[in-house]
Every structure is written in C-alpha cells, then in structure tokens.
Amino acid sequence: MRKILFPTNFGEASYNAFIFAERIAAKFGAEIDVVNIYDGLFDHNALYLKPESLQNRTKTITQKLEEFASLTPNEGGIASAVRLNYKVALTYQKNLKIIELARDYDFVVLGINSIIPAEKRVFGSFASSIIQNVTCPVLIVPKDAVYKGFDALTYASDWNMLNYAMIRQIALFARHFNAFVDFIDISDNKATDSIAFELLKNTFEQIAPKSPYSSTHLDTNFALKGLYRYLLDNDTDLLTIVNRKRGWYENLLGGSMTQELAIRTKTPILSYHSRQAIHSNSTYIN
C-alpha cells in the first residue's frame, strides 16, 4: 500500500474517518491524498465563474483541507509522520468522481453518517455505490466508530469461494497490526470446509505467523442477522468482506445494507472487490 484516497466533505464523519486513515497510513508507510470533491461549478449560480474566481475557490478549499487535517490528534507523532497531499476535484456527480479517482489508488477511506435517509435505503446509498464500483479496498468508517487500533479482525466469507489471494490480503493487514483474526464461514457446503481451512491455515501461518486466528461457522439462512449479532457480541475492531454479487453477498451488499451494518454496530468495514479476490498478484496491501 502506497497511496490512500481520502475524500472529505469536512463533516464530523470525515473527521472521525481521517483518524483511521492516518493510523493505517502510518503502519504501511503510505501517503494520503486528502480530496474535496467540489461540484459548486455546476450549480446554476456558479456556471459563469471566471477563471480567477475558480482559482480563488480552489485556493480556499485547499486551505480548508489543510485546516481539516491539522485538527487530527497527533498521538505519538503519528499524524506528523504521514505525508499528506491536498487536492480539489471538480465534478458534477461526486460518487462517480471518487470511483474515477480511485483507479490510481491502493486504498480508499470513507466516513459515513449515522443516519441513512429513507430514500437512500430504497435507491442505494453514496457509500454502497463506492463499495460496489471501486476495485481497490474501501474502508467505510461510521461516525460513531472509535479508533482503538486493529487488534481483532473478522473476515466473513463463503468458504466455497476462499482463495489464496484473499487470505494473503487479510494476513498482510493482520501482520502490520499483530491482529487476531476470526475467519467466519458463511456457506452451506460442509464438504469443502476442511479443504478451505487447510488453505487458510497454510497461507495465513506462512504470511502472518505471529497473528493468532480462529474459525466460526454461520448458517447461510441467517447470515446477515448472525453477522449482526456476532459483531454486537464480540469485540471486533474491523469487519472484512468481499464484495461479490452472489448469494448472501448480494443481500449483504445490496442497497445500503453494508452501510447499515457498519452504523448499527459502530464497526468499520473493509470491503474488497471480487476482482481483487481472484488475482493472486494483487498488491493493494503489502
């Protein structure tokens, strides 16, 4: 991981998520591009801005980005050790711009609010559109999540689809934080469980030998409900899932379900796209 994209609208959720972004960047030696996606040019009152007005607006937003980043607690000098770049991106549709920008990044961190408007529950949310269309890992951080480090990770997956590349990504993340990982199996084919566990065991122990792990099984008929209960009952710092439009994943990631799960449990969720999971040479996290 070398470059992290951090879009911000300067809200409370963004401020909280930035704490997570800086801690992750410090662990991986990555830099963060702090970006404001500005669509003001496309308001009817701003269509005729002169070039010098645009330059002034960009300068003002850049200064605001610098002020935003300076408010983050600098515990142990972590914040000052991370290289920050400040950018303004012009667009007419913010989610499409983030999806476009993310092609040049290894990781995206996105803050989300604690209330999902009713219309977004039906038509899908801003965060879910990012999760489903960005191909690098996306970390969504609820406004009420508290950064305590990443000591305990949970990876929820259909073990029938488990592969080396995905286990490797999780193991590398766990290794940087010396984290415990609970691999949750959500599948209805017990015949493949032992084979999948051997793959998990061999791969994980090779890449993160100092990180302890365990495995848990959830019934596919109650996957979302069971996962929700698991997160409430266990001290999990991060839930990791693979965005795969198949079976229970489609139910979990459809609309704003991922966002709701994060908000209701106050748990950050790290989402990998299925395209990452099938390529063994993925280097988003290393």
User: Please, where are the H alpha helices in the chain?
Assistant: 12-28, 51-70, 78-81, 94-101, 118-123, 126-133, 164-177, 193-207, 223-233, 248-253, 257-265, 274-277
Res 84: pLDDT:
93
Residue 279: phi, psi to the nearest 5? -110, 115
CATH number for the domain harbouring residue 138: 3.40.50.620
Res 189: pLDDT:
60
The reply to whether 285 falls in a domain is no
Residues 256 and 132 in one domain: no
What pLDDT digit, counting tens, does each position of 109-163 carry? 999 886 554 434 433 467 778 888 888 999 999 888 999 999 999 988 777 666 7
Residues 235 and 121 in one domain: no
Res 26: pLDDT:
92
Of 174 and 44, more confident: 174
In the chain, % of residues over pLDDT 90: 30
Domain extent for 42: 3-142
The reply to whether 131 falls in a domain is yes
Domains held by the chain: number = 2
Cβ count near 260 (within 10 Å): 18
The reply to whether 180 falls in a domain is yes
What pLDDT digit, counting tens, does each position of 229-286 carry? 888 888 899 998 876 554 444 545 443 456 666 667 788 999 887 655 444 444 556 6
The reply to whether 284 falls in a domain is no
What pLDDT digit, counting tens, does each position of 79-89 carry? 667 899 999 98
The reply to whether 283 falls in a domain is no
State the pLDDT confidence band at 18, using cuts at 50, 70 and 90. very high
DSSP state string for 27-78: HHT-EEEEEEEE-GGGSTTTTT--HHHHHHHHHHHHHHHHHHHHTS--GGGH
Residues 70 and 36 in one domain: yes
Task: Check whether 50 has a pLDDT greater than 70.
Answer: no
Task: Check whether 58 has a pLDDT greater than 60.
Answer: yes
Question: 117-123: which pairs have CB atoms within 8 A and are 24 or more residues apart?
Answer: 120/256, 121/255, 121/256, 121/260, 122/255, 123/255
Residues 127 and 61 in one domain: yes
Domain boundary residue among 111, 142, 173?
142
Res 254: pLDDT:
44
Res 278: pLDDT:
44
Domain boundary residue among 113, 142, 171?
142
DSSP secondary structure code for residue 10 in this structure: S
